[in-house]
Chains A and B, each alone.
Chain A
């Protein structure tokens, strides 16, 4: 807009700079704490300038939290969630949008409803499923009388069991079971002109060929957006890995981070090693920040379109 508003411009910059300061200050304090020895961190008056211990503290945090191994685990889970989500939501949306069958709307709603209840809300029963992923099917068989029937006919008792605790499958699958991506893909597929479908059919391409050669190349933006969101989402998981993992070799990084400091309590106890904990915090938050800043454009678009 062409108008001169010198005072308002100064005010605007002041407000934005203040906001930026509010968002950056906590991180600055974390960096300062991570770059001092413990004595300096608990000194009075506080040190407000970074010290020279940063590298030493980072190494200490890396060793103490076994962050190297945790990085690998977390990375595998993040990749699993990302790929699983992208592939599943792509083919599901394809099945809903490009075929004409009576079940398409019911299926869409069945999947869409999962957006309403995040994992945290149904955590207790989901945990029971993770302890035995075949539990739902066992229950179905029990309820429908098939277990009884098989038992009566052959003497074999049907007992399905697949324990997902302490496994990558258990970490990944429940995180994939939401509609975020399906919704994003559906929105995009609906904008594909039908001439494209007709042309593909005219050329003799079947549905799978169409998916592979036309839709997937066209949905690169979608894939980038979804990949960013899912990477950050999976990397930052806390509650679910806390429950599912008891074997430390599958521990995820956010859970490990919280173990660097003893739990909050009124009884006191030892002084937390804040300098190590803050160095650990820095290490843990770095990868998703890099991804979000680098992929900013795709990520913002994806976030807005998925409403998540």
Chain B
């Protein structure tokens, strides 16, 4: 434990104060405000609040559209996470062999991280639009095969692909870093024992990567709940017939288009609990249980 400190605590207070102030204003207050709104009924622009207990929650939880939104979010989370994690893991474990061209491969897999969600959304909306380019051609050959404008499943598939594509770079960075932190001596020992490359991947590298793997998994699921707004908004706007109406998107719509602040706040609280639970699982459970070294 550190023993050398500066004594002047006024300076410390001064240093910490701006951050605390900003965090209070834009984090703690809004979060508590959401709680307050979730249990009251409020007029959108001022006016009185009446305490309604759990009414907002029961209203939401008995709303079929809300359950649909949860289901859609789960499908999106599972689909985009599975796709992005599997692809990134495969690429990382092979890139980690550091054959010729390693640096080129690495840059090539990192750059998509830089692209804004709406730009990814727009690009993939163009690629998958039945009205131009590739998919128009596909539809000409197989009439009516592809039409995400009407077909909810296809719209969801399109959003999942775009979301996963955007996430691959981030996962790749973490997997590669995780692989490179595995002690080289372990892999050399494996080689001495006669394990070939694939065998070492399966029996040494993948098990030792487990903590990184779970970390990435949880982050991906959390991100798919929160970060998906830009993609959904530019690609499908929640449609067709709410087939891609993810939870964040529904909160935005109910709160700012429908001006139902209390309903949106109650939905925010449920989403917050979900995200906190995921983070908690990550911190408490996974970080402790999955260690092999």
Known: A207-B11, A239-B229. A258 touches B126 (CB 8 A): no
Q: Is the CB of B279 within 8 A of A116?
A: yes
Tell me which of A127, A176, A261 contacts B125 (CB under 8 A). Answer: A261
The count of chain A contact residues (Cβ–Cβ below 8 Å) is 110
Q: Is the CB of B131 within 8 A of A116?
A: no
Stretch in A52-60, A149-157, A219-227, A282-290 with 4+ CB within 8 Å of B? A282-290
Q: A16 in the interface, Cβ–Cβ < 8 Å?
A: yes
Least CB separation from A242: chain B residue: B233
Chain B residues numbered 223-262 whose CB sits less than 8 Å from any CB in chain A: 225-227, 229-230, 233-237, 239-240, 248, 251-252, 255-256, 261
Q: Which residues of A contact B129 (CB under 8 A)?
A: 272, 274
Chain A residues numbered 107-124 whose CB sits less than 8 Å from any CB in chain B: 107, 110-111, 114-118, 120-124
Q: Is the CB of A136 within 8 A of B29?
A: yes
Q: Is the CB of B126 within 8 A of A107?
A: no
- Report A's interface with B, CB cutoff 8 A: 1, 3, 5, 8-9, 12-13, 15-16, 19-20, 22-24, 26-27, 29-30, 33, 41-42, 44-46, 88-89, 91-92, 94-101, 107, 110-111, 114-118, 120-129, 133, 135-136, 139, 173-174, 176-179, 182, 190, 194-195, 197-198, 201, 206-208, 210, 232, 235-236, 238-239, 242-243, 254-255, 257-258, 260-261, 263-266, 271-272, 274, 277-278, 281, 284-285, 288-289, 291-293, 296, 300, 303-304, 307
Q: Is the CB of B29 within 8 A of A135?
A: yes
Distance in Å: Cβ of B47 to nearest Cβ of chain A: 13
Q: Which residues of B contact A16 (CB under 8 A)?
A: 91, 94-95, 101, 105
Known: A111-B20, A124-B264. A118 touches B33 (CB 8 A): no
A94 to B261, CA, bound (A): 39
A-side binding surface: helix, strand, loop or mixed? Answer: helix
Least CB separation from B261: chain A residue: A124
Query: What 6 new A-B contacts, CB under 8 Å, besides A121-B225, A123-B251?
Result: A125-B268, A127-B255, A173-B22, A177-B23, A194-B4, A304-B173
Q: Which residues of B contact A232 (CB under 8 A)?
A: 113-114
A172 to B246, CA, bound (A): 26
Known: A15-B90, A120-B248. A254 touches B230 (CB 8 A): yes
Chain B residues numbered 180-222 whose CB sits less than 8 Å from any CB in chain A: 187-188, 191, 196-198, 215, 219
Tell me which of B27, B101, B234, B275 contacts A258 (CB under 8 A). Answer: B234
The count of chain B contact residues (Cβ–Cβ below 8 Å) is 108
3 cross-chain pairs, A with B, having the tightest CB-CB distances, nearest first: A95-B15, A236-B116, A99-B12
